[in-house]
Amino acid sequence: MSKIFYGIEALIDASDCDPSTMNRENIGAFIEDLCDRIDMEPALETFYWDEENGGATDEPHLKGTSAFRFIETSNIVIHTLTALRVVFVNIFSCKMFESEDVEQCIKEYFGAKKLSSQVVKREYEDS
């Protein structure tokens, strides 16, 4: 059996971000620009979830806006935690992209001062 490369997943944690950027308008612009930068084709619309008072948690530090966008090669997911000033971005794609391009886009749109990223190669075994 041999391993067949399927795609990559980038997991990027951004901290010390600007809380004023953690809104639907900026997140939507970020996703559109990111798709252009990493040459991904958006599919469907962006889906949003705003975790506010009365949501799944009453912990104020866990409040923020999340977004999900299908792309033709998989998806982009974003979670923001406003009080903690953090943004989490996950991108899974069977088409290659450079995680450095994603990091630069996060810095520009969310004012991130610190980034931590992991890139996971997705593989399966050919039988």
**Structural domains in the chain, sorted by start:** 18-86+96-122 (3.60.90.10)
pLDDT digits (tens, 9 = 90+) for 15-30: 999 999 999 999 999 9
What does R_g of the chain's alpha carbons equal in angstroms? Answer: 15
Q: Give all strands (DSSP E) within the chain, no chain letters.
A: 2-15, 42-51, 64-71, 74-81, 86-93, 114-126
What number of other Cβ atoms are within 10 A of residue 113's Cβ? Answer: 12
pLDDT digits (tens, 9 = 90+) for 39-55: 999 999 999 998 765 45
Side chain identity, residue 114 = K
Spatial strand order of the sheet with 114-126 comes to 42-51, 64-71, 74-81, 86-93, 2-15, 114-126
pLDDT digits (tens, 9 = 90+) for 68-101: 999 999 999 999 999 999 999 999 999 999 999 9
